[in-house]
Every structure is written in C-alpha cells, then in structure tokens.
C-alpha cells in the first residue's frame, strides 16, 4: 500500500488516500471526538471495497466498483494508522473503534470477517470495539451468519452493529439505497438474534433529510425498543446529496424536535449525532469521498475545503 496524500486536522480527523495494485485507490480516516482525548476515544474508518456498487443517493463513495479488498489490504489500512501512533501494536485507548465504513458496503466482502476473527492475534487492544454499519444487502446471508458467530465467540458486548435504513417509507428507501436488500422483517429477525440482554442495542440509523419521514408505528411493528435504538444523523453536504436535493437543514436548525420526541415517546432510546461540522470541511464525514471531490469542478460551500498534502 502506498500513501499518496492526506488532508485534515490532527485534533479532528485526517483522511489518507492510498493506492494498491493496479492503481486501485481507497481512502481511510482516523478521527477523534473533541474534547475527548485520543487516549479515551480513537476512531479509525476504513474502506472495504474498491468503489461501491450500492450507490446510495447521498454518498460520494458510490460507483466505480473495482472489487473487494483482500484481508491484507484491509489490515494494511489499520496497520498504517496503528503503527504511526503505537509502533508495538499495543493500543492503550479506552474506546478504540474501527468502522468499516469509508468506501464500500462491508457485508459484500467476506474478508472483513477474517479481519475481525484475527484482530486480537495481531493487536493488543483491550478497548477495541468493531463497528459494522450495513444497508443489509440481499444475498449476504453467509456474511451475517458468520458475523453473528464471531460476535458471540469473540466480542460479546463489545460490538456495534448498525443498519442504515434512513426512512420507514419503503419506496423512498428503495430510491435512497437502490439495490436489493433485506426488508424490515429480515433486519428485525437478525437484529433480535444478534442482540443479547444488557449488551449494546442494535442501531437503526437514519440520515434524516428534510423531505424524509420516520413513522414510529412502522418502527414499532418491527423493531422492539428493548433491542433496537434510533440514531439520527444529518445528510452530509456531498455532491450526490446536492444532485438528489437531499439536505438536513431542518434537523440542523432544531426543527425535527417533534419527530425526535415522538420516537422517544414510543419507547426508543434516540441518539442525535450531529458530529463535528469541521469534518464536512475536511471531507472525513459519512458519505464523503475526497477523490470524487477532486474530480468535481464545482466547489461545495459547506464541504471539502481542505487542501490535499502529498505524502
């Protein structure tokens, strides 16, 4: 793996652009959550696929699919970041999270499971929390079956599973995530099998655009609050979000409070996760992808405003 460039801020997030064989490129990120010091929380966000065949409507990492990363290619992103701070591969961070969420749907790459299985053979990281965020693509049953096994055998309560569903309107969900995927019943059945009492609940993530709704009755029909929690995030300012007229101005101005209250009244734990807006400027946030920005001619006002530094 050759690092080509990086951008960002040491005290918020840094994005790296790396190249593998045949000129195939990925990006990966390390971030902290100010004011929490790195020793308490450190988050790595790595890519699972070269490009992504899912093409979610708001995501700049979609398209240009060129295959899956091998186990070694997945690990080399982690190893680069770990060794740059902890050369002995001993990571004394209280909450050390790795999200397989920069470019590529992780359930489309079985090698992700090998990384999860072998992680503790390579790194001494008592605070490690793996995080899988998925749109639950159809045809990945084997991945999910094995993931459940790995969680039960190795990680137990130290595992974060998130389903990105974005809306309870099935037609809108199909247009936001334009591939075949599990329906709510399948997600619910799997989530309930995954959840264990007193462990982390399964997250249902909604990148909540202004024209998107969440119907608490639909949620209640499928997702019991004892096993599922709701995470609301903004749609970040990406090229694709702009192209599809998706933005979260109302959420950012506090105008979705009624919806949040309704969800809480239904019994759900609701996490509103706005994150660091500086990350939009860096290009390190969810759905952002710097290489695509580099190819676009028009500037976006609220994002991608940091210069790339060659490495």
* CA-wise closest residue to 233 among 264, 207, 203: 207
**Contact positions toward ligand SF4, by CB under 6 A?**
52, 54-56, 59, 61-62, 103-105, 135, 287
Are 60 and 242 in contact, with CB atoms under 8 Å apart?
no
Nearer to ligand SF4, 13 or 103 (CB): 103
Preceding omega of 35 cis (within 30 degrees of 0): yes
> In which residue are the tokens 């300012």 written?
237
| Least distance to ligand SF4, CB of residue 186, Å | 17
**Least distance in Å: CB of 109 to ligand SF4?**
11
Alpha helices in the chain (DSSP H): 71-85, 111-122, 141-150, 170-176, 184-194, 216-222, 239-243, 249-252, 257-265, 278-282, 290-295
Confirm if 233 and 207 have CB atoms less than 8 A apart.
Answer: yes
Question: Which lies closer to ligand SF4 via its Cβ, residue 56 or residue 282?
Answer: 56
d(CA 45, CA 30) in angstroms, rounded, equals: 6
Least gap, CB of 55 to ligand SF4 (angstroms): 5
Q: Return the SS3 of 32.
A: coil
Question: 93 or 166: whose CB is closer to ligand SF4?
Answer: 166
Nearest distance from residue 158's CB to ligand SF4, in Å? Answer: 23
Instruction: State the minimum distance, in angstroms, from the CB of residue 291 to ligand SF4.
Output: 13
Please state whether beta strands 270-272 and 63-68 pair in parallel, antiparallel, or not at all (unpaired): unpaired
Distance CA 151, CA 142 (A): 14
We find the least distance from the C-beta atom of residue 229 to ligand SF4, in angstroms, to be 20
Q: What's phi and psi for 81, nearest 5 deg?
A: -70, -45
Task: Please state, in angstroms and rounded to a whole number, the distance separating the CA atoms of residues 247 and 21.
Answer: 36
Burial 135-171 (b: 16+ CB within 10 A, else e): bbbeebeebbebbeebbeebbeebbbbbbbbbbbeee
Closer to ligand SF4 by Cβ: residue 207 or 229: 207
Nearer to ligand SF4, 7 or 164 (CB): 164
Q: How far is the CB of 156 from ligand SF4 (least distance, A)?
A: 26
Query: With respect to ligand SF4, which residue has the nearer C-beta, 93 or 107?
Result: 107
- Among residues 93 and 102, whose Cβ is nearest to ligand SF4? 102
Structure tokens at 178: 């334009």
Pick between residue 295 and residue 309 the one whose CB is nearest to ligand SF4: 295
Least gap, CB of 137 to ligand SF4 (angstroms)? 8
């Amino acid at each position: 793996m050759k690092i080509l460039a990086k951008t960002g801020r040491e005290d918020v997030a840094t994005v790296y652009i790396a190249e593998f064989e045949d000129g195939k490129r990925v990006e990966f990120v390390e971030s902290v959550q100010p004011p929490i010091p790195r020793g308490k929380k450190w988050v790595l966000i790595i890519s699972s696929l070269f490009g992504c065949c899912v093409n979610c409507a708001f995501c700049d990492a979609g398209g240009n699919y060129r295959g899956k990363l091998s186990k070694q290619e997945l690990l080399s992103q982690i190893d680069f970041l770990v060794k740059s701070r902890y050369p002995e591969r001993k990571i004394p961070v209280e909450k050390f999270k790795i999200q397989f969420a920069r470019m590529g749907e992780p359930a489309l790459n079985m090698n992700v499971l090998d990384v999860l299985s072998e992680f503790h053979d390579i790194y001494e990281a008592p605070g490690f929390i793996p995080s899988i965020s998925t749109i639950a693509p159809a045809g990945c049953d084997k991945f999910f079956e094995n993931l459940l096994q790995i969680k039960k055998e190795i990680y137990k309560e130290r595992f974060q599973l998130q389903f990105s569903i974005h809306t309870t309107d099935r037609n809108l969900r199909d247009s936001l995530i334009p591939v075949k995927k599990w329906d709510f019943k399948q997600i619910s059945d799997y989530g309930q099998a995954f959840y264990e009492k007193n462990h982390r609940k399964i997250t249902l993530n909604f990148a909540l655009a202004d024209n998107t709704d969440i119907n608490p009755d639909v949620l209640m029909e499928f997702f019991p609050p004892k096993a599922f929690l709701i995470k609301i995030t903004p749609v970040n300012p990406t090229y694709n979000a702009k192209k599809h007229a998706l933005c979260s101005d109302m959420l950012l101005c506090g105008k979705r409070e009624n919806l949040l209250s309704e969800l809480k009244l239904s019994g759900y734990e609701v996490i509103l996760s706005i994150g660091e807006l500086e990350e939009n400027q860096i290009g390190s946030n969810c759905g952002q992808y710097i290489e695509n920005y580099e190819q676009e001619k028009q500037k976006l006002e609220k994002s991608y405003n940091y210069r790339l530094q060659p490495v």
